[in-house]
């Protein structure tokens, strides 16, 4: 069995019967724990085969809901799920009742998605007490995300004490950015004392999609330059040079860059002080508005891109403007990242919007002629799964590449264990 190359180009598989081969054949239990939800997937690192997926929602709220899907069949459980300990009890019960049997499946590890690894973690790590302590120290960098991730890790360590557990960071892939890309022009004491800089997010997705794009192009990853546009509820663009992130649109927090479902992307840094002066708005209010009330929701009344497109189709002027703002911001970032790369081989669209909206892809690529991208309208309109959407003669290729963050996390976990 062969495995796709890992992030740094080193194959996970190094020969039949080797530890890497063995690690790749067994599944990894991938956990993505948020403050009120827990997503999981049992996935075989070597093949990407998903054996079961699950979503536990409304943790800590009145009525919890858990969906466990095996062989395309969903099993729903509704009960109170007061905390993450209860969520893991539900997870093990779902596996016990609906399979696959976790003992028999014998996961080789648990791979935890962790949003922010700061500058401390440039790659996947095996979780121990020291790592957990560092993660807790990093909470101020991602107050909305890291606490949920940490709660998931703490309970998983109690629930599965015999399994190796690894942390895979959204930020790690971007630790290859050069100082010129990640440094903010702000006072030295902020940068030194509080580690204020650009970190970038969606790293597992950018890593997976850029690697698949090179494979689809048929060129070695080390020689391929790609701009990946991860466009989902959260969105970011990344310039990937030879498999390494060299710049990305998100920065210190997942608020910067592109326009998102409820987040604004780039703003004038003078805005918080200005709003405070003119409206008396407090910083927590401002934080809430930028995380939950901005983006598509602020412009068009819905954070859901599909709904915005339906409104736009019905002639709604706010939805029309929202679409134009989204496209304009994308074009601006695509152009900037292409220049950062110096030479561009491909543009890749991924995540909910990137994979499913031919209108958006056409609007962006229709304005990317300067870069040498020529859209194949028919291929774009009919794209399902991995698809080349540029003409055969296009100087720069364009692709739709469905992301697979769970598989990437499983690969990372298997690779780490194989090298241990
Ligand atoms: P994600 O965060 O990757 O799950 O992406 C969620 C976003 O993808 C939401 O804004 C959805 O409206 C959008 N989306 C999902 N399916 C489609 C579709 N068929 N057409 C347009 N947007 C879609």
Would you place residue 21 in the very low, low, confident or very high pLDDT band (cuts 50, 70, 90)?
A: low
Compute the distance between CA of residue 177 and CA of residue 200 in angstroms, rounded to an integer.
Answer: 9
Q: Which protein residues are within 6 Å of ligand 1, measured from CB?
A: 232-233, 261, 304-306, 309, 351-353, 356-357
Compute the distance between CA of residue 86 and CA of residue 69 in angstroms, rounded to an integer.
Answer: 19
Do the Cβ atoms of 348 and 206 come closer than 8 Å? no
pLDDT at 20: 58
pLDDT at 418: 87
CA of 148 relative to ligand 1 center, distance in Å: 24
Counting from 1 in the atom list of ligand 1, the atom nearest the Cα of 307 is 12
Q: What is the mean pLDDT of residues 25-53?
A: 95
Compute the distance between CA of residue 281 and CA of residue 260 in angstroms, rounded to an integer.
Answer: 23
Angle at 191 between CA 142 and CA 257, to 5 degrees: 55
Compute the distance between CA of residue 178 and CA of residue 191 in angstroms, rounded to an integer.
Answer: 15
What confidence tens digit (pLDDT) does each residue in 175-195 have? Answer: 999 999 999 999 999 999 999
Counting from 1 in the atom list of ligand 1, the atom nearest the Cα of 308 is 12
Which residue's CA lies nearest to atom 4 of ligand 1?
A: 352
Q: Choose which residue among 53, 55, 232, 302 to substitute to test ligand 1 binding: the one with the highest number of ligand atoms within 8 A of its C-beta.
A: 232
Would you place residue 143 in the very low, low, confident or very high pLDDT band (cuts 50, 70, 90)?
A: confident
Full 3-state SS string of 107-169: CCEEEEEECCCCCCCCCCEECCHHHHHHHHHCHHHCCCCHHHHHHHHHHHHHHCCCCCEEEEE
Cα 207 versus chain centre, distance: 10
Question: Mind telling me the catalytic residues?
Answer: 170
Which residue's CA lies nearest to atom 15 of ligand 1?
A: 352
Q: What is the mean pLDDT of residues 57-72?
A: 94
What confidence tens digit (pLDDT) does each residue in 313-338 have? Answer: 999 999 999 999 999 999 999 999 99
CA of 261 relative to ligand 1 center, distance in Å: 10
Would you place residue 22 in the very low, low, confident or very high pLDDT band (cuts 50, 70, 90)?
A: low
Q: Choose which residue among 353, 362, 385, 400 to substitute to test ligand 1 binding: the one with the highest number of ligand atoms within 8 A of its C-beta.
A: 353
Q: What is the mean pLDDT of residues 208-213?
A: 98
Cα 259 versus chain centre, distance: 16
Q: What is the mean pLDDT of the chain?
A: 93
Q: What is the mean pLDDT of residues 290-315?
A: 97
* DSSP code at position 398: E
pLDDT at 142: 86
Q: What is the mean pLDDT of residues 340-345?
A: 98
* Topology, domain 7-169: Nucleotidyltransferase; domain 5 (3.30.420)
Q: What is the mean pLDDT of residues 152-161?
A: 96
HSE, CB side, 13 Å, CA atoms: give it for residue 208. 25
Q: Is the pLDDT of residue 18 over 90?
A: no
CA of 356 relative to ligand 1 center, distance in Å: 7
Do the Cβ atoms of 229 and 354 come closer than 8 Å? yes
Compute the distance between CA of residue 31 and CA of residue 409 in angstroms, rounded to an integer.
Answer: 9
Would you place residue 11 in the very low, low, confident or very high pLDDT band (cuts 50, 70, 90)?
A: very low
- Residue appearing with tokens 């998983």: 156
CA of 304 relative to ligand 1 center, distance in Å: 7
Q: What is the mean pLDDT of residues 278-288?
A: 95
Counting from 1 in the atom list of ligand 1, the atom nearest the Cα of 296 is 10
Would you place residue 19 in the very low, low, confident or very high pLDDT band (cuts 50, 70, 90)?
A: low
Counting from 1 in the atom list of ligand 1, the atom nearest the Cα of 403 is 3
| 3-state DSSP assignment of residue 220 | coil
* DSSP code at position 390: B
Structure tokens at 416: 């780490």
Q: Choose which residue among 205, 236, 352 to substitute to test ligand 1 binding: the one with the highest number of ligand atoms within 8 A of its C-beta.
A: 352
Compute the distance between CA of residue 85 and CA of residue 81 in angstroms, rounded to an integer.
Answer: 9
What confidence tens digit (pLDDT) does each residue in 347-402 have? Answer: 999 999 999 999 999 999 999 999 999 999 999 999 999 999 999 999 999 999 99
Counting from 1 in the atom list of ligand 1, the atom nearest the Cα of 233 is 2
Counting from 1 in the atom list of ligand 1, the atom nearest the Cα of 306 is 12
CA of 313 relative to ligand 1 center, distance in Å: 16
Would you place residue 212 in the very low, low, confident or very high pLDDT band (cuts 50, 70, 90)?
A: very high
Q: Is the pLDDT of residue 157 over 90?
A: yes
218-405 shares the fold of 7-169: yes
pLDDT at 144: 83
What confidence tens digit (pLDDT) does each residue in 238-274 have? Answer: 999 999 999 999 999 999 999 999 999 999 999 999 9
pLDDT at 231: 98
Candidate CATH numbers 3.20.20.140, 3.30.420.40, 3.40.50.300, 3.40.50.2300; the one for domain 218-405: 3.30.420.40
CA of 70 relative to ligand 1 center, distance in Å: 23
CA of 41 relative to ligand 1 center, distance in Å: 20
pLDDT at 3: 31
Rounded to two decimals, the pTM is 0.92
Compute the distance between CA of residue 401 and CA of residue 403 in angstroms, rounded to an integer.
Answer: 6
What confidence tens digit (pLDDT) does each residue in 109-142 have? Answer: 999 999 999 999 999 999 999 999 999 999 988 8
Compute the distance between CA of residue 11 and CA of residue 31 in angstroms, rounded to an integer.
Answer: 24
Q: Would you list the domain boundaries of the chain?
A: 7-169, 218-405
């Amino acid at each position: 069995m062969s495995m796709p190359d890992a992030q740094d180009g080193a194959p996970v598989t190094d020969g039949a019967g080797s530890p890497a081969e063995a690690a790749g054949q067994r599944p990894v239990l991938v956990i993505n724990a948020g403050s009120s939800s827990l997503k999981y997937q049992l996935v075989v690192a070597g093949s990407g085969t998903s054996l079961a997926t699950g979503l536990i929602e409304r943790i800590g709220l009145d009525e919890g809901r858990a969906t466990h899907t095996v062989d395309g069949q969903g099993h729903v459980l509704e009960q109170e799920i007061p905390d993450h300990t209860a969520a893991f009890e539900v997870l093990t019960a779902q596996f016990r009742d609906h399979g696959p049997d976790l003992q028999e499946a014998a996961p080789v590890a648990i791979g935890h998605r962790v949003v922010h690894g700061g500058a401390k973690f440039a790659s996947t790590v095996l979780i121990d007490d020291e790592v957990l302590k560092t993660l807790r120290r990093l909470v101020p960098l991602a107050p909305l995300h890291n606490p949920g991730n940490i709660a998931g890790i703490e309970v998983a360590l109690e629930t599965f004490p015999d399994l190796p557990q690894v942390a895979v960071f959204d930020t790690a892939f971007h630790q290859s950015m050069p100082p010129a890309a990640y440094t903010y022009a702000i006072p030295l004491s902020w940068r030194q004392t509080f580690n204020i800089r650009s970190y970038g997010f969606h790293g597992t997705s950018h890593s997976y999609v850029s690697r698949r794009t090179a494979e689809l192009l048929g060129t070695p990853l080390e020689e391929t330059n790609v701009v990946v546009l991860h466009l989902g509820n959260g969105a970011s663009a990344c310039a990937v040079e030879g498999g390494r992130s060299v710049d990305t649109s998100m920065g210190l927090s997942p608020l910067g860059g592109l326009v998102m479902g409820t987040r604004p992307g780039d703003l004038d840094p003078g805005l918080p002080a200005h709003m405070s002066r003119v409206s008396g708005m407090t910083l927590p209010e401002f934080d809430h508005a930028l995380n939950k009330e901005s983006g598509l929701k602020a412009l068009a009344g819905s954070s859901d891109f599909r709904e915005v497109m339906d409104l736009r189709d019905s002639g709604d002027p706010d939805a029309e403007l929202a679409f134009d703002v989204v496209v304009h911001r994308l074009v601006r970032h695509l152009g900037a990242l292409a220049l950062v790369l110096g030479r561009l081989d491909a543009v890749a669209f991924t995540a909910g919007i990137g994979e499913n909206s031919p209108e958006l892809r056409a609007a962006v690529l229709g304005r990317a002629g300067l870069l040498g991208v020529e859209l194949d309208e028919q291929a774009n309109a009919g794209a399902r799964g991995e698809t080349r959407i540029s003409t055969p003669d296009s100087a720069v290729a364009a692709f739709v590449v469905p992301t697979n963050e769970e598989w990437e996390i499983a690969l990372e976990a298997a690779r780490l264990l194989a090298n241990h």
